A and B are shown apart, each in its own frame.
Chain A
Amino acid sequence: MTETIAAAAPVPRPRKNPLAYLVRFQSLLGLILVLVGGIIFSPRRHGHILFLNTENVANIVRSISETGILALGMTFVIIAGGIDLSVGAVLGLSSVLTASLLVNQGWGLGSTLPLVIVVCTVFGLAQGFLSTRLRIQAFIVTLAGLQAARGLALIASNNTFININYGQGPGNAPPAFAILGERLLGDTFPVATLVFIVLAALATFLLDQTRYGRYVFAVGGNERAARLSGIPVRWVKISVYGLSGLCAGIAGIVHAGQFSFGSPNDGTGYELSAIAAVVIGGTDLFGGAGSMIGTIAGAVMLGALANILQLNDVSAAMQLLATGAIIVLAAGLQSLVGARDGSTR
């Protein structure tokens, strides 16, 4: 009897689709292509490839650290089937709060940083709560959250730009905070990038190696099946926004430290860069599938691409067009594989 079933069920094995491999390593492949392209098209001076210049590489990895951190949190949200448009604004709020507390209120780092992070996390959790409890689409709740966070940032900063001066006494931030703008290893490796790398490692571990990560995948893949299996669906859906808020808070602190100021309008549009990194990394916007390593590669790739274009004096307009083309290419590749696999996901 069992033999009949076996004969009756010739299952197409997913590993036979070569395109599926391409998608799994799509972001890494893209990254390699961009890096090779960077070396080929890089301007040269005295026979040196400018693209590989230490200074230039440091610039690339520094430039991606903030949107990279946002993209880490965004990956959890998107795999769980949501979207978070508020992260850029929350980054702005975080930078302003940090600057204001350190400079205007004269708080120390030990109290400022945890408070800022908690505020941003709670902001994220509140959005998650609203969207699950009131059943409003995440897109709308976080669009509202974007506006609200900007508003809060304007209030907290009194609608001005807050400069961070380092030193002792009132009106100065603790000098230790300046480390976020510095570099390690003989002035080559930006501290901001180190923060990104540490967080990226933690996020990868959380997504791939813990029960929580499995919950996120299950909820994004099929919410009803997850609920039926006893997974605390509502809690998972709220918590991913908390993670995203947490990441945005840290990114805002890094922002304030790197540039030594807090500005309520900073971070505008960062949410789109973060989403772009996640999508290029192969994560499914419908939820249920994706990877953290893809997101990381996606972020590096976007940074490297922008850098090459800048080195070649390509206009800002062309840079935007190129970025758009890359996103479409990545998404197109994904849906192509989806169609070949016989599913829309």
Chain B
Amino acid sequence: MAAGRIGMGKRNVVPPLLTLSGIEKRYGGVRALRGADFTLAAGEIHFLLGENGAGKSTLMGVISGAVQPDRGGMTLAGNPVKFATPRDAHAAGIVMIPQELDLVPGLDIAANLFLGHEKLTRFGTMARGAMVHGAKDLLHRAGVRLDPRLLVSSLRMGERQLVAIAKALAAEARILILDEPTAALSAAEAEHLFETVRQLKTRGVGIIYISHRLEEVPLIGDRVTVMRDGVVVGEAPPDAPQADLVRMLVGKSFQDLFPPRAARIGRPLIALDHARFVPAVERAGWQAPRDVSLTVHEGEVVGLAGLMGAGRTELLSSLYGFEVRGQWQGGVSVDGKPAVLGSIGAARRAGIGYVTDDRRSTGLVLGQSVARNIVMSTLAKVTPWGFVSAAREQAEVSDALNRFDVRPRLPSARVVNLSGGNQQKVVFAKELLGRPRLLLLDEPTRGVDVGAKSEIYRQLRDLAAAGLGVLVASSELPELIGLCDRIVVMHGGVTVASFAAGVTEETLRHHSLGEALVA
């Protein structure tokens, strides 16, 4: 097996960089870790997989000093260690890069890299020149080509991630923990990140890589550890089939994640025929839909495939008129009649709902209750004559909580305290309470674990069976293939191809690159 490469023999000679054995941690009645073991070798990229709540975060907390284990031991390069605070772990060369990067957007890259240990001149003022120079060096070591004088706020997510890694290098990290580093990155940005991570590996840095994206495992992984319910359930080589990993993750097979398709497809809901969207203001990096032809019928799930920047998100947001102004030209019809779209009001009157790819910033009011969030887009329903009807509100909310199986079933719980999957269910409930006939979905399962994913697929299929039309954009091809009745491929704002169910990933990828156009 190719995975045998990372030779067991090597680890027998030198002690592993890091070992954890029998780690236990209990939070009140919840046993977050029930005797977890983990090892990391120098120069190894070790994938850690697990559903939300499997104990990954707690285990990483133990390594990075944020969590004190109840039981179990840890050794670093063979010596027993115990970290009382994240500061101790940091001093020992363990750096965790959280999903919410701790960079100051208003400062430039150099200032961020030296934040807290600024270089000073002998007059006590900032030595800008030395810092910019040092920053260049750090960026170079991280394999990043960026001008250190750029403001962090002007960088894209992928670039910020790389800056965060460079910052870890500044701290002389021996162990780097990456928590879903590609969750907010485009494919190209992710590729760049992998490049950097591979470089760090050759320098002997041990890397713990947490991800929900199984397709990343064979790309850069050396070893995979899967956790479930607070224990390590297995270890696998990086070329293990995805299906095997899924089985370890959730205890059921990949195909079972997708519900069977419904056969009944009704009248056309929305039809675009060589339609183009002309934005009022041109924006750099915003790929306007240039020539789009597709139809979504009642009860049909249509997928949008394509590379990042192909214009999938832009198509959805300009159909809904969200944070973009402009007008549609060409054939746009709803229910077989020509329609004017491009504003939220028009879209909602046409029965269109929209769930963006970013539930935290555009989907939910995190600090407010589940109930408040659920009725947010259908306030007219629970406020007859403009006055709140507590009875109607309660009825709608408890009905929605049941239908979408939101846990906990507690209307007063604050949304910020829910898990990612349950937050996503709240977003769905909110949008579907308005009984849209067409639902636009952008990356509906981003940052959601496999179990909740399958739950969302089942919901979508049920809704489609009841007549809902769905247009879903996703960068995960297996998801589109498993879920959709039809898949439309976009490239450069143009719909270049359309396939019925049963198309292969290979074909989709080929058309996504726009190669079929040339050929």
Contact = CB atoms under 8 A, between A and B. Distances in A.
A342 B376 CA distance: 23
A226 interface: yes
A218 B422 CA distance: 20
Nearest to A226: B376
Contacts of B414: 14, 341, 343
A343 B366 contact: yes
Interface string B342-359: 001100100000101000
B458 to A, nearest CB: 9
Interface in B355-401: 356, 361-368, 372, 375-377, 379-380, 383, 386-388
A247 B131 CA distance: 53
A217 interface: yes
A258 B362 CA distance: 48
B214 interface: no
B130 interface: no
A345 B364 CA distance: 14
B210 to A, nearest CB: 15
Given A210-B386, A212-B386, A217-B372, A1 B451 contact: yes
A221 B418 CA distance: 17
A48 interface: no
Contacts of A169: none
B407 interface: yes
Majority-rule SS of A interface residues: helix
B66 interface: no
A321 interface: no
A9 B430 contact: no
Contacts of B418: 9, 11
A221 B376 CA distance: 11
Contacts of B386: 210-212
A212 B53 CA distance: 38
A7 interface: yes
B365 A222 contact: yes
A289 interface: yes
Contacts of B27: 10
B366 A345 contact: yes
Interface in A169-212: 208-212
Interface residues of A, number: 41
B263 interface: no
A234 to B, nearest CB: 12
B405 interface: yes
Nearest to B51: A8
Contact of B408 (A11, A214, A345): A11
B455 A5 contact: yes
A230 B367 contact: no
A227 interface: yes
Nearest to B383: A211
B387 A209 contact: yes
B101 to A, nearest CB: 15
Contacts of B421: 5, 9
B345 A227 contact: no
B504 interface: no
Interface string B405-434: 101101011101111011000000010000
B229 A210 contact: no
B506 interface: no
Given A1-B451, A10-B30, A212-B386, A231 B379 contact: yes
A14 to B, nearest CB: 5
B310 to A, nearest CB: 23
Interface string B272-300: 00000000000000000000000000000
A222 B364 contact: yes
Contact of B407 (A11, A211, A222, A228): A11
A284 B365 CA distance: 14
B413 A11 contact: yes
A230 B51 CA distance: 34
A6 B407 contact: yes
Contacts of A226: 365, 376
A47 interface: no
A230 B419 contact: no
Interface string A209-239: 1111111011001101111111100000000
A227 B416 contact: no
A309 B52 CA distance: 55
B365 A228 contact: no
Contacts of B380: 211
A218 B372 CA distance: 8
Interface in B224-256: 229, 250-252
B449 interface: yes
A12 interface: yes
A288 interface: yes
Contacts of B52: 8-9
A149 B410 CA distance: 48
Contacts of B365: 217-218, 221-222, 225-226, 288
Given A5-B407, A217-B368, A211 B363 contact: no
A228 B363 contact: yes
B484 interface: no
A168 interface: no
Given A211-B386, A288-B368, A4 B250 contact: yes
Interface of B: 27, 30, 51-54, 229, 250-252, 320, 322-323, 344-345, 348, 354, 356, 361-368, 372, 375-377, 379-380, 383, 386-388, 405, 407-408, 410, 412-414, 416-419, 421-422, 430, 449, 451-452, 454-455
17 contacts: A2-B405, A5-B455, A8-B52, A11-B418, A11-B422, A211-B379, A213-B388, A217-B368, A217-B372, A222-B365, A225-B376, A226-B365, A228-B320, A229-B430, A341-B414, A341-B417, A342-B416
Given A1-B455, A14-B413, A213-B388, 10 more contacts: A1-B451, A10-B53, A11-B407, A11-B408, A11-B410, A209-B387, A209-B388, A218-B372, A221-B367, A341-B416
